[in-house]
Chains A and B, each alone.
Chain A
Amino acid sequence: ILNVEQSPQSLHVQEGDSTNFTCSFPSSNFYALHWYRWETAKSPEALFVMTLNGDEKKKGRISATLNTKEGYSYLYIKGSQPEDSATYLCAFGDYKLSFGAGTTVTVRA
């Protein structure tokens, strides 16, 4: 089991504000870093799979960066909307993913 940590555990954001949060993972033997969004009562949904150091990916207002040498990834939400409220999970590994506990984002209208 690989140690994957996410911080903060939760955060509240005013609608329209931007926010970001962190995923930390072991910096040795890197394979891939996944980000998932998990809305209440729904299935986790893949956002990004990142494999290269320095990689930056974007989907709409959500983007992510990756630093494999120091073992962290940031997820950014620009101009938060109520529909962005969810738990964001990161996962590290080859096909055997180790998940973090998630960052729960609540966007207040």
Chain B
Amino acid sequence: ETGVTQTPRHLVMGMTNKKSLKCEQHLGHNAMYWYKQSAKKPLELMFVYNFKEQTENNSVPSRFSPECPNSSHLFLHLHTLQPEDSALYLCASSQDPVSPRGPSGEQYFGPGTRLTVT
């Protein structure tokens, strides 16, 4: 058990649906991350939140909308997705405050949400 939970674990949605992915960390960390892994591709950073403030948006399309109401919870709101958005979405957290030009500590990952867009 990693201390980072994600729900749901599997999600099938149509292109016109609106859904949300939820991530919760029980580790008291300050930073939270969304990653995407498409088939046969490396993990790709999407968003970074540091003390509830978004510090990074890695050129992610606006159909993905993150929300971080507090340091323990992170959401990814999905709307009008495309079939090519089907992927594994992973959440992670880390203790260290996020700062440019500074190394971060190890990240703790959730199990991911397997998303299929039909």
Least distance between A91 CB and chain B CB atoms (Å):
8
Q: Are B48 and A32 in contact (CB under 8 A)?
A: no
The answer to whether A31 touches B103 (Cβ under 8 A) is: yes
- B90 contact set on A, CB distance < 8 A: 43-44
User: Which one of A43, A51, A91, A95 has the greatest number of beta carbons of chain B within 10 Å?
Assistant: A95
**Per a CB cutoff under 8 Å, which of B2, B41, B98, B105 touches A101?**
B41
For A33, give the chain B residue with the smallest CB separation: B103
Q: List the A side residues contacting B96 at CB < 8 Å.
A: 95
**Chain B residues touching A, majority SS:** loop
Partner of A49, one of B44, B50, B92, B106: B106
Give the number of residue pairs across the A-B interface with Cβ within 8 Å: 71
Residue contact B42 to A95, C-beta cutoff 8 Å? no
- Size range of the interface on B? 20 to 34
Measured CA separation A45–B98 after assembly (Å): 20
Closest partner residue, chain B, to A31 (CB atom): B103
Complex CA gap A41/B9 in Å reads 10
B112 to chain A, nearest CB (A): 7
With both beta carbons as reference points, the residue of chain A lying nearest to B105 in the complex is identified as A49
Q: B residues within 8 A CB of A4?
A: 42
9 residue pairs from A and B, CB less than 8 Å apart = A42-B111, A49-B105, A49-B106, A91-B43, A94-B101, A95-B98, A99-B42, A99-B44, A100-B42
